[in-house]
Amino acid sequence: MQISNRFSIGVHILVLVALQEAAEILTSESLAASVGVNPVIVRKVMSQLRQAQLIQTRQGLAGIELGREPAAISLFDIYQATGGIGADKLFRYHDAPNPQCEVGRTIHGVLDHHLQEVQAAMEAPLKHQSLADILKTSQEKQKG
């Protein structure tokens, strides 16, 4: 299973919001043009980011702001806000192992611990990287 593209879209949106000029007003259309997706997708991801309090919008007023300082927004926060990996498990099981077989009857229980360790190892670095880190890298690459 793959991590949804909403994660990278969410990061992209948050970078744009963090780098916006004071007088600049970002819209779902302008964000979508940068991300290269339909504005409907941007609005869905923005809704997820808003529910996680990673961005703030005001009803009836144009504009988007970060909900916290970039250093206080981890990539894991964004990952969770945008749906993570779906059903909270990186690995999916085959549906119907044979319950009459010794291995088939126990395989899910045998694998659970090991696969949860792998997922935790994949998620751990996201907890230690922030939007501020992404902003710094982005700005360095823009300078060439």
Classify burial at 79, counting beta carbons within 10 Å of its beta carbon; exposed 0-12, middle 13-18, buried 19 or more: buried
Q: How confident is the model at residue 55 (pLDDT cuts 50, 70, 90)?
A: very high
Instruction: Decide: 33 and 12 in contact? Cβ < 8 Å.
Output: no
Judged by average pLDDT, the poorest of 14-23, 29-38, 57-66, 92-101 is: 57-66
Judged by average pLDDT, the poorest of 70-79, 89-98, 125-134 is: 89-98
**CA-to-CA dists, residue 69 to 45, 51, 130, 136, angstroms:** 19, 17, 10, 14
Residue pointed to by tokens 């909270």: 88
Tell me what the pLDDT averaged over the chain comes to.
88
Classify burial at 55, counting beta carbons within 10 Å of its beta carbon; exposed 0-12, middle 13-18, buried 19 or more: buried
pLDDT in tens, 98-136: 999 999 999 888 888 888 888 889 889 999 999 999 999
Residue-range domains of the chain with CATH:
5-143 (1.10.10.10)
Judged by average pLDDT, the poorest of 20-24, 32-36, 71-75, 113-117 is: 20-24
